[in-house]
Amino acid sequence: MTTMQPVPRLVDQFERGLDAPICLTWELTYACNLSCVHCLSSSGKRDPRELSTRQCKDIIDELERMQVFYVNIGGGEPTVRSDFWELVDYATAHHVGVKFSTNGVRITPEVAAKLAASDYVDVQISLDGATADVNDAVRGPGSFAMAMRALENLRDAGFSDAKISVVVTRHNVDQLDDFKALADGYGATLRITRLRPSGRGADVWDELHPTPAQQVQLYDWLVANGERVLTGDSFFHLSGLGEPGALAGLNLCGAGRVVCLIDPVGDVYACPFAIHDTFLAGNILSDNGFQNVWQNSQLFRELREPQSAGACGSCGHYDSCRGGCMAAKFFTGLPLDGPDPECVQGYGEPALAGERDKPKSSVDHSRTGSRKKPSGPIPLTLLTAPPKKFCNESPV
């Protein structure tokens, strides 16, 4: 071959799906010490069917064979699993790098020192306000202080480049510069992502999602600051606001193509924001392993077919946003082949105003009852075995 074939755009290559995901999220537990109002996985209680240590290690072995280079571990609060560090060590020893998301509850000085000594572990601290009042209204009392303590411990241990992960809401969108300054102060990198109406997020989305004016503000901020801020490419629905390519990243829904989610019981969903039977591709235990689900499930095959632009077909911006986020449409009760609820051309609002049937989350591990003010430090007695039934006590 002496001439170079025209190279298809990556977005076209990704549309057909890859042999293995690039961005794999693995939620190790539904148990969580917090009860954030917008929790995408409706976490709280541990699921009695939670995968065992052995089962998790078998999955890591399979990810190594498939050359999934890293996983984003989350939950729930993943560090409340008593085998969490064992699994992290096992993954990194098997060429599967780990980035884990945590609210910081277990990032003690000792843990921070251990993390600083590893080359292949990334830590992402969740924070949804640059001030305690804004953060704690969403994540719960004491959660801002907990995150700050974790960041201090990481910095003091010499851990470089922790991530601070912010879900952008109506109440913190004005704090983006403050988040950036806060991250800089800890030698950390800011990561901001889109609020999805997934899990408990469906209950608060109407009040928390940024207004149309704030979407423009967010877009302008991203264009000005995007190179130093991570986004998980989650704002591609905004790309119609400016020149193509002004917003860094891939403007494509990666669900089932380059992205998927493994949940705590081994169920595989098309994306972390789509924990619902509609987007369930299969189960690792009952469907003969992750590779089989990824490569052969009916759902993922369908998602890799060219998708219809539907009602967006006549919009000049379709090539920029490709109709936006599948999960955002689904959980607001909008058709999947129509505009995103936060469509920047304004097509989302009339769609939201029309008659729609919001699907209820089919997987809910929320704790019942209202949040309590903590009366003191949270006891850290780890469960060593999954409970026999859904437990409603503190998972830590």
Partner 1 sequence: MFDPDLRWRLHPQVAVRPEPFGALLYHFGTRKLSFLKNRTIVEVVNALAGHPDARSACRAAGIDDAAQAPYLHALSVLVQSKMLVREETP
Question: Using the rule CB under 8 A, which residue among 70, 144, 219, 300 binds partner 1?
Answer: 70
Task: Kindly state whether residue 223 participates in binding partner 1, applying the rule CB under 8 A.
Answer: no
Task: Kindly state whether residue 262 participates in binding partner 1, applying the rule CB under 8 A.
Answer: no
Task: Kindly state whether residue 250 participates in binding partner 1, applying the rule CB under 8 A.
Answer: no
- Render 283-352 in DSSP notation, one character per residue: ETTTTT-HHHHHHH-HHHHHHTSPPP-GGGTT-TTHHHHTT--HHHHHHTT--TTS--TT-TTS-HHHHH
Task: Kindly state whether residue 1 participates in binding partner 1, applying the rule CB under 8 A.
Answer: yes
The values of phi and psi at residue 160, to 5°, are -100, 140
Q: How far is the CB of 125 from partner 1 (least distance, A)?
A: 17
The values of phi and psi at residue 116, to 5°, are -65, -25
H-assigned helices in 157-285: 176-185, 201-208, 212-225
Count the neighbouring beta carbons within 10 Å of the beta carbon of residue 212: 13
Rounded to whole angstroms, how far apart are CA atoms 298 and 256?
11
Q: How far is the CB of 16 from partner 1 (least distance, A)?
A: 7
Q: Using the rule CB under 8 A, give the single segment among 64-72, 127-135, 238-246, 260-268 that binds partner 1.
A: 64-72
Task: Kindly state whether residue 375 participates in binding partner 1, applying the rule CB under 8 A.
Answer: no
Relative orientation angle of helices 109-116 and 143-156, to the nearest 10 degrees: 50
Q: Using the rule CB under 8 A, give the single segment among 17-25, 46-54, 128-136, 264-272 that binds partner 1.
A: 17-25
Binding flags for partner 1, 315-344, as an x/- string (CB under 8 A): ------------------------------
Rounded to whole angstroms, how far apart are CA atoms 302 and 312?
20
Rounded to whole angstroms, how far apart are CA atoms 303 and 299?
6
Task: Kindly state whether residue 97 participates in binding partner 1, applying the rule CB under 8 A.
Answer: yes
Task: Kindly state whether residue 31 participates in binding partner 1, applying the rule CB under 8 A.
Answer: no
Task: Kindly state whether residue 2 participates in binding partner 1, applying the rule CB under 8 A.
Answer: yes
Q: Using the rule CB under 8 A, give the single segment among 7-15, 80-88, 207-215, 323-331 that binds partner 1.
A: 7-15
Task: Kindly state whether residue 306 participates in binding partner 1, applying the rule CB under 8 A.
Answer: no
The residue count for binding partner 1 (CB under 8 A) is 22
Q: Using the rule CB under 8 A, give the single segment among 66-74, 104-112, 180-188, 289-297 that binds partner 1.
A: 66-74
Rounded to whole angstroms, how far apart are CA atoms 345 and 234?
18
User: Which strands, in side-by-side order, build the sheet including 23-29?
Assistant: 189-194, 163-168, 121-126, 97-102, 70-75, 23-29, 259-262, 267-269, 280-283
Q: Which of residues 105-134 bind partner 1 (CB under 8 A)?
A: 119-120, 122
Task: Kindly state whether residue 10 participates in binding partner 1, applying the rule CB under 8 A.
Answer: yes
Residues 6 or more apart in contact with residue 169 via CB below 8 angstroms: 38, 128, 138, 195, 208, 209, 210
Task: Kindly state whether residue 385 participates in binding partner 1, applying the rule CB under 8 A.
Answer: no
Binding site for partner 1 (CB under 8 A): 1-5, 7-8, 10, 13, 16, 18-20, 22, 67, 69-70, 95, 97, 119-120, 122
